[in-house]
Amino acid sequence: MVLQGNAIVAQSGGPSAVINNSVCGVVQTWLQEAPFGKMYAGISGIKGILEGNIIDMGAQRPETIAGLRYTPGAGIFSCRYKVGPEDQKKLVEILKQHNIRYFFYNGGNDSMDTAHKTWLAAQEAGWEMQVVGVPKTIDNDLPFTDHTPGFGSAAKYIATCVRETGIDLESVSTKNKVTILEAMGRNAGWLTAAAALSKRYENEAPHLIYLPEVPFDKQRFLADVNQVYKDLGYCYVVVSEGIRDEKGEYCFAAGSLDAFGHAQLSGVGAALKDLVEAELGIKARCNTLGTCQRSAMHFASKTDADEAYAVGQQAVRAALAGKNGIMITLERLADDPYQCVCGEVPLEKVANVEKTVPLEWITPERNYVTEDFIRYCRPLVNGEVEIPMVNGLPDYVRLDLSLGRVK
Amino acid sequence: MVLQGNAIVAQSGGPSAVINNSVCGVVQTWLQEAPFGKMYAGISGIKGILEGNIIDMGAQRPETIAGLRYTPGAGIFSCRYKVGPEDQKKLVEILKQHNIRYFFYNGGNDSMDTAHKTWLAAQEAGWEMQVVGVPKTIDNDLPFTDHTPGFGSAAKYIATCVRETGIDLESVSTKNKVTILEAMGRNAGWLTAAAALSKRYENEAPHLIYLPEVPFDKQRFLADVNQVYKDLGYCYVVVSEGIRDEKGEYCFAAGSLDAFGHAQLSGVGAALKDLVEAELGIKARCNTLGTCQRSAMHFASKTDADEAYAVGQQAVRAALAGKNGIMITLERLADDPYQCVCGEVPLEKVANVEKTVPLEWITPERNYVTEDFIRYCRPLVNGEVEIPMVNGLPDYVRLDLSLGRVK
């Protein structure tokens, strides 16, 4: 007997290019397969739900919901908010008030922790509700899943930018002969490593890749850059924003902490540029893509977008099949031709656990990744997403938050 | 009577996404329409020609030459090199040695100066040679042309990134509520201004745009940001790397000069991020796209790519028709539907002259651009270029420099 009641979906954490595919998958699948209940959206994640900022997705135009498949950013808005014990009680009251029996939370590690705590709080209050986590993160650091929706698109964008700016670097005989690209990824170097997809032949960019998984040594870095520069006359470096020294301290942390107590990082690329110029006397440039790398839907991976939709769809189907307290995962069956299906894992196992790049996928010199990583990463960037263009630019959609407001 | 002899093409300055379309236009048109002579390429611009680094483009595979139409960077390599009087003499000797009677130089302001000087040096030496400049610059600062090939693609990329990261900024309720995007453009704010194409409705990003054409006032900037932040809860700023104060001094120059004596700029975005955080207490982010904005062929404008090809093609046809000492220009006939044809201007008028954004296209508040600018810019970003994809990434071509080496 399927639990009767309404559902809610919300997004949390930093967006990815394809995060809205997951919401679209949840919403469209629910509207088609669960006619007994409403599909609500919490606007701005758990924080919005706590504030009663909830809309009925059934009131949106179907074209707008379909347009989420090609729209970056958090379509139903997102938050970074750590739920306290008082919040949990209030949250359950709100969920009861709206007869919400299905809770879909779309996010990364911290979000899965929030989903897990919400599940526990509902149980404690005796409110029967099925909670399913829908994975998302460009960082690819969720455990128990082969990879995470959002990673493939960010990887494709980073690798493309490195290929393009690598060609640019090589082709101009000018003073700037070192390019440093700073990639997102606080503790996990997946996205930084993905730059290696760019290299098609020896000496093509990137030449050096530094991940947060292994200690960063400034002297060794300078020696590496100097060697490549001597050999080729230029050098392309990709570095994670989260590189740390032997003591495990961030090399260039800005000092402040976010809501979850994580160090705010910035300026690693710029700091390394200065280091190269000061110590090696070679002019350098730094490309800091910032939020572009998590929102570049204009060149997203179709494989990634489709998987992001699939985990949303599967979240609803799993919940309707009685599954509870789980996160949907991706299970790879084969690399080539690539095959992947949805699986599941208990939320409590995922919450707050970070999956980093295996050390055996990092070269002994600690400045590049191995062929095994390439084999893993390559299928995830395949295909492009078709986007309606107006006046030469992608015409992304926008929900009308005045429709279907839930009181 | 058409002058008999060989031709040479070379590239100079920073590449654009579509600069190779122009070389392709020159080479393909020459090979089809001037069977009497070879089409050489100077590898690494004028510097390469001076060093005798010359190849016969007829020895390249036709598929590779055709592939230049979708390949970023400087396909025949580029330089930043100021030609001195001794160089000029040597240059003419080399041109004579290879019986070069047609000289096509593909670049921006400085390059047109080089082309002009080469023309004068050849005349002085009594060497009859036709010189035609082929315009290129993402900065769009060449005079006597409606716009410059390379600008439209960079504009499309910047506007797309601003739309995507603007949606990202708005959609996440987090501490970082100000995003600053730094755009290239030393003295001319065309590319920075192009970010305005991103805005489809009131309050969509960008909210503030600062160009180098008008003095930058830090206090006014802070007041502007604060006002938008108060109104919306977030603020998206696009700023030129070349903003200057009332005295005309760069606000955040790094101190060194390039080969042409231009100040090396960097860190404007990062400096403004620090300023916002220190003075307003609002957390900010900075996206510094760097060389990505001049090499993003993966999302280039088809209009721009086609025009870049057309100016190359026209350069050859004009030369074969006896035109000399000119740069090919683009003349707009209509905005909507957009129509544009090739024209020409004497090189001496173009050399070292910079065209900046007209002051009447900047709002009285000096923090945005007008509808007239939008009307001018919009048609230039239309359409996308088809690029062969391999393993999910653009498969750009590469000349084989071992083929057709000229001794």
C-alpha A383/C-alpha B393 separation (Å) is: 9
Q: Based on the domain organization, do A156 and A289 belong to the same domain?
A: yes
Show the CA angle centred on residue A344, arms to residues A338 and A349, nearest 5°: 120
The residue annotated as part of the active site, out of A87, A110, A113, A139, is: A139
- Among A247-256, A384-393, B273-282, the range with the most confident prediction by mean pLDDT is A384-393
C-alpha A375/C-alpha A58 separation (Å) is: 41
pLDDT for the residue numbered B252: 75
Most A-contacting residue of B393, B395, B397 (CB-CB within 10 A), to test interface:
B393
Predicted TM-score (pTM) of the model is 0.96
Q: How far is CA B293 from CA A72, A334, B68, B156, B184, in A?
A: 20, 36, 18, 9, 8
Q: Are A42 and A328 in contact (CB under 8 A)?
A: no
Whether residue A254 is predicted with pLDDT greater than 80 in this model: the reply is no
Chain A CA closest to residue B44:
A173
Q: Based on the domain organization, do B328 and B195 belong to the same domain?
A: no
Most B-contacting residue of A76, A293, A306, A393 (CB-CB within 10 A), to test interface:
A393
Q: Based on the domain organization, do B130 and B19 belong to the same domain?
A: yes
Question: For residue B143, is it within any domain?
Answer: no
pLDDT for the residue numbered B250: 84
End-to-end CA distance of chain A: 29
The total of structural domains in chain B comes to 2
Which of A79, A163, A286 minimises the CB distance to B290?
A286
Q: Which of B158, B156, B83 is nearest to B121 (CA)?
A: B83
3 state DSSP class of B389: strand
Q: Based on the domain organization, do B50 and B87 belong to the same domain?
A: yes
Flag if A292 and B161 touch (Cβ within 8 Å).
yes
User: What tens-digit pLDDT sequence spans chain B (407 residues)?
Assistant: 799 999 999 999 999 999 999 999 999 999 999 999 999 999 999 999 999 999 999 999 999 999 999 999 999 999 989 999 999 999 999 999 999 999 999 999 999 999 999 999 999 999 999 999 999 999 999 999 999 999 999 999 999 999 999 999 999 977 789 999 999 998 999 999 999 999 999 999 999 999 999 999 999 999 999 999 999 999 999 999 999 999 988 887 655 554 555 555 458 998 999 999 999 999 999 999 999 999 999 999 999 999 999 999 999 999 999 999 999 999 999 999 999 999 999 999 998 889 999 999 999 999 999 999 999 999 999 999 999 999 999 999 999 999 999 98
Contacts of B198 in chain A (CB under 8 A): 393
pLDDT class for A266, splitting at 50, 70, 90?
low
Query: Across-strand partners of A265?
Result: A253
Question: For residue A403, is it within any domain?
Answer: no
Average pLDDT, chain A: 95
Based on its alpha-carbon atoms, the radius of gyration of chain B, rounded to whole angstroms, reads: 22
Whether residue A257 is predicted with pLDDT greater than 60 in this model: the reply is no
Whether residue A259 is predicted with pLDDT greater than 70 in this model: the reply is no
pLDDT for the residue numbered A312: 98
Q: Read off φ and ψ for residue B364, nearest 5 degrees.
A: -55, -30
Q: What is the mean pLDDT of residues A379-403?
A: 98
Q: Is the dihedral of CA A141, A147, A153, A156 positive or negative?
A: positive
Q: What is the mean pLDDT of residues A305-325?
A: 98
For residues A172-198, one letter each, b for 16 or more C-beta atoms within 10 angstroms of the residue's C-beta and e for the rest, the string is bbbebbbbbbbbbbbbbbbbbbbbbbb
Q: Based on the domain organization, do B163 and B127 belong to the same domain?
A: no
Q: Does A278 touch chain B (CB under 8 A)?
A: no
Q: Based on the domain organization, do B239 and B348 belong to the same domain?
A: no
Flag if B301 and A170 touch (Cβ within 8 Å).
no
Q: What is the mean pLDDT of residues A311-328?
A: 98
Tokens representing residue A154 in the block: 């960010």
Question: For residue B271, is it within any domain?
Answer: yes
Q: Based on the domain organization, do A267 and A219 belong to the same domain?
A: yes
Whether residue A174 is predicted with pLDDT greater than 80 in this model: the reply is no
Q: What is the distance in angstroms between the Cα of A218 and the nearest Cα belonging to chain B? A: 22
Q: Does A288 touch chain B (CB under 8 A)?
A: yes
Most B-contacting residue of A164, A175, A272, A380 (CB-CB within 10 A), to test interface:
A164
pLDDT for the residue numbered B253: 60
Tokens representing residue A55 in the block: 């809309």
Instruction: Examine the fold and report which residue of B297, B332, B363 is the final residue of a domain before the chain moves on.
Output: B297
Domain harbouring A256, CATH code: 3.40.50.460
Question: For residue B190, is it within any domain?
Answer: yes
pLDDT for the residue numbered A21: 98
Flag if A168 and B295 touch (Cβ within 8 Å).
yes
Among the ranges given (A50-64, A115-129, A173-187, B344-358), the one the predictor scored with the smallest mean pLDDT = A173-187
Tokens representing residue A17 in the block: 């290019």
Q: Are B307 and B301 in contact (CB under 8 A)?
A: no
3 state DSSP class of A86: helix
Q: Which of B353, B363, B372 is nearest to B211 (CA)?
A: B363
A:337-396 residues touching chain B, CB 8 A cutoff:
378-384, 389, 391-396
Instruction: Examine the fold and report which residue of B278, B297, B316 is the final residue of a domain before the chain moves on.
Output: B297
Question: For residue B362, is it within any domain?
Answer: no
Which of A75, A259, A383 minimises the CB distance to B392?
A383
Q: Based on the domain organization, do B223 and B322 belong to the same domain?
A: no
Q: Based on the domain organization, do A111 and A177 belong to the same domain?
A: no
Domain harbouring B72, CATH code: 3.40.50.450
Question: For residue A192, is it within any domain?
Answer: yes
Q: Does B159 touch chain A (CB under 8 A)?
A: yes
C-alpha A234/C-alpha A219 separation (Å) is: 18
* A389-390 vs B208-210, strand pairing mode: unpaired
Flag if B171 and A15 touch (Cβ within 8 Å).
yes
Q: Based on the domain organization, do B49 and B14 belong to the same domain?
A: yes
Instruction: Examine the fold and report which residue of A254, A271, A294 is the final residue of a domain before the chain moves on.
Output: A294
More confident residue, B257 or A37: A37
Chain B CA closest to residue A168:
B73
Q: Based on the domain organization, do B155 and B292 belong to the same domain?
A: yes
Question: For residue B363, is it within any domain?
Answer: no
Flag if B167 and A44 touch (Cβ within 8 Å).
no
Q: Based on the domain organization, do A155 and A290 belong to the same domain?
A: yes
Q: Does B290 touch chain A (CB under 8 A)?
A: yes
Contacts of A259 in chain B (CB under 8 A): 174-175
Question: For residue A219, is it within any domain?
Answer: yes
Domain with A184, as residue range(s), is 151-294
Q: Does A179 touch chain B (CB under 8 A)?
A: yes
User: Is A139 a known active-site residue?
Assistant: yes
Q: What is the mean pLDDT of residues A246-256?
A: 74
Which of A14, A160, A256 minimises the CB distance to B394?
A160
